[in-house]
Amino acid sequence: MPIFRTPRPGRRAALLTSAIALPLVLGACDDGGRTVSSRTLPSATSPTTGDTRCRATELRASVGRLDPGAGQKNFPVVLTNHSDRTCTLRGYPGTAFVDASGERLGPAPKRSEASPTRVELAPGDSAWAGLSFANPELSDARTATPAELLVTPPDERDQLQVAWKAGAVPVGGNKSSVFLTVFAPGAGP
């Protein structure tokens, strides 16, 4: 005969508290693709020893100058460490173009096939990832002009907002794909 154990009252209360707190910490996206603000609870401690990844709160995001190519628009998405500790980035940023009301414009960018490498950022150092797309003036893509580019550091949920001042971007139709590269040291080409 199986033995079933009833959790102790203290354990039940801890499980209930965890279940209630989880949605507050994680944040969410609604079904329309709009970003819903996430609320993170302030941490009373620094990142744990050995965890060197850069936190969104330690970074500033910017978009570098246009580097045009043959029918392409290329921009470096730059993250700069403004904390007082050395941290690391590995992989790709998350990015999304949004309009003034926060509505997402177009699909998520496609990632290059490059292997992610670890980039160490001392205080004040930067890393960049390439953001590129076919020049909307030359392609058949449907366009929109974003108000901002949202940038999410690797392994983070909090987004950094960057005003978008580079005009229209492709959001649909032929040649509407936007591409991202992995992070590299520096502020771009």
Predicted confidence (pLDDT) per residue in 89-122, tens digit: 999 999 999 999 999 999 989 999 999 989 999 9
* pLDDT score for 48: 54
Contact 60, 80 (CB under 8 A): yes
Residue ranges of the chain with per-residue pLDDT less than 70: 1-49
Q: Please state the pTM of the whole predicted model.
A: 0.73
CA distances from 35 to 18, 50, 107, 155, 168 (A): 24, 31, 13, 17, 21
* pLDDT score for 176: 81
* pLDDT score for 103: 96
Distance CA 11, CA 78 (A): 45
* pLDDT score for 97: 96
* pLDDT score for 140: 82
